[in-house]
Chains A and B, each alone.
Chain A
Amino acid sequence: MSVTRPSLGKYICGMVASLAVFLAGGWLILAPFALGYQPYGADWVSQTTNDFVVGICVAVVALISFALFFFSLLGSLRASGVIAARPRRAVPAPVETAPQAAAAPAAASNQSDLDRTLATLAQALAADLNARRQTGGDAQSNQLTEQHITNRRDA
């Protein structure tokens, strides 16, 4: 059985590089004011604008890169079993274990099932009753006819 060993060095390298780039971006934002080539109180010169905009972009991109490497690291640790895998959302449980909030729709569904079953049962009963009535009516009319014939014969 092969054991997957997580190698964290590559992710650490990526994260360290991202962090260094982030620091460089921060310095770019501060440099015009720290080095004094942006006159105080005056409009921003072109170098200041360039450094500031590029510095913000670099810092944001470095943060994104850091986050991506970090999530890759987490994924690798999860894959190797160091971190417990995320529990998947449970499939909606049967009626007995369902939470109270889900009980209402389940009850409505059960009610409609019950209604349908009862309606089918009532239809079957009605059909049976009709059939019995017809059979009973036929038998009664037959009995009446036979009695009539017998009475005639007697007469």
Chain B
Amino acid sequence: MRAGEVMRRLVPPGSYVLVLCFLTGIWLTISPFAMTTQPSGQHWIASTVTNVTIGSILMVVSLLGILSFMGFALRDLMREAQAKQLAEQAAHEEASQAAL
């Protein structure tokens, strides 16, 4: 299997879209400070708390989605490779027995 095919199976189009969500989460987390809506040196206001919380959730959830898909896909690839190896071994043994 080629590297491109492996990458396509590990990172589907949905994961690319989740990367966008991850980037949005980063922006949400830093936006109160970047837009200076959070007064410096004071307790966080409600919008800052919301933005930082939701931004963190977005980052964590999208990363979890991407990584879990990658993990499951990797497990499937390993299983397929193992099954292929076993089938080749069985065919080789059958051929050698037939030759005897």
Contacts and interface: CB of A to CB of B under 8 A. Distances in A.
Interface of A: 2, 7, 9-11, 13-14, 16-18, 20-21, 24, 27-28, 31-32, 35-37, 45-47, 50-51, 54, 57-58, 61-62, 64-66, 68-69, 72
A24 to B, nearest CB: 5
Contact of A14 (B15, B57, B58): B15
Contacts of A64: 17
A141 B33 CA distance: 118
Contacts, number: 107
Question: Secondary structure at chain A's binding surface: helix, strand, loop or mixed?
Answer: helix
A28 B61 contact: no
Given A21-B58, A72-B12, A58 B21 contact: yes
Contacts of A62: 21
Contacts of B72: 7, 9-10, 13
A13 B65 CA distance: 6
A65 B17 CA distance: 6
Residue among A11, A36, A47, A58 facing the most chain B CB atoms (10 A cut-off)? A47
Contacts of B54: 24, 27-28, 31
B55 to A, nearest CB: 9
Given A28-B50, A68-B17, A69-B12, 4 more contacts: A10-B68, A21-B21, A28-B54, A58-B21
B21 A61 contact: yes
Given A58-B21, A62-B21, A17 B62 contact: yes
